[in-house]
Amino acid sequence: MNLSEKCPILRFGDLGDERGKLVVIEGAEDIPFEVKRVFYIYDSDSTVVRGQHANRYSEFVLINVAGKSKVRITDGTEEIIVELDRPMTGVYIPKMIWKEMFDFSPDSVLLVLASTHYDGEEYIRSYEDYLEAVKAEH
């Protein structure tokens, strides 16, 4: 499976009408996991790089519900850059994938859905350690 297949772009349905847009994301139906945690990142800007880690257990879906950002995703072999710029679209990031979010527009609100409760211990924050851990998996 290549990296774009491992980290697919998800397109959510628009239930909007003349009153406005409505996007619904049902855990384990519209995304591959039940949601245990939600967080969002805003007030970052184009000079900032966030993330720069991989998670041993957590899966994520990233959605820019307002504004734009980009996410650089790698499995240690391939790299893709996904532009997040619409509230109806997200990217799925499985466990053990390195990610870096950057190029935030001033109005960016990056919503993150996660499959786990927070556990700082499952983060790999050094890219070298990440590559070692990936190697050890194979």
β partners of residue 72: 81, 100
Q: Which residue has the CB atom at the shortest distance from ligand TYD? A: 50
Q: Between 16 and 109, whose beta carbon lies closer to ligand TYD? A: 109
Q: What's 7's DSSP letter?
A: S
Q: Between 21 and 37, whose beta carbon lies closer to ligand TYD? A: 37
CB of 62 to ligand TYD, least distance (A): 10
Q: Between 16 and 27, whose beta carbon lies closer to ligand TYD? A: 27
CA-based nearest residue to 61, from 113, 96, 109, 11? 113
CB of 8 to ligand TYD, least distance (A): 21
Interface residue list for ligand TYD (CB under 6 A): 37, 39, 41, 50-51, 118
User: φ and ψ at 24, to 5 degrees?
Assistant: -120, 135
> Look-up: residue for tokens 């590559």?
131
How many CB atoms neighbour CB 25 within 10 A? 17
